[in-house]
Amino acid sequence: MYAVIRTYLGAGANQLFELLEERKTDVEATLQTVPGLVSYTLLNTGDGGTSVTVCTDKAGSDASLKVARDWVQKNASHIHAQPPIVTEGPVIVQIK
């Protein structure tokens, strides 16, 4: 498995996460199109937010980055949030 974490901070991050919460049904439906999706978590950190995507392989995680970027461009480009800080790598342990 492979995971990608996107952390949004700075100008526009709070506003972006307010919109994501308002549109969570659309966000869920969009992320479910990612091939090999194992799990997706979106959390509000108070000063922005973080998403954690786990897929069966790196190709799925790469697809999740594109899906997320496209969703933000289509639905939240008016917010002008900073690009996320991206952290990614192979999953060592996952407990369900």
> What domains sit in the chain, N to C, each tagged with a CATH number?
2-90 (3.30.70.100)
Quick one: average pLDDT of 14-40? 95
CA atoms within 13 A on the CB side of 96: 4
Q: In the chain, what percentage of residues exceed pLDDT 90?
A: 88
Which residue has 């937010």 as its token pair?
49
The model's pTM is 0.91
pLDDT band at 93 (very low <50, low <70, confident <90, very high): very high
Inter-axis angle of helices 58-76 and 24-31, to 10 degrees? 150
Specify whether the CB–CB gap between 6 and 68 falls below 8 A: yes
- pLDDT at residue 96 tops 90: no
pLDDT band at 73 (very low <50, low <70, confident <90, very high): very high
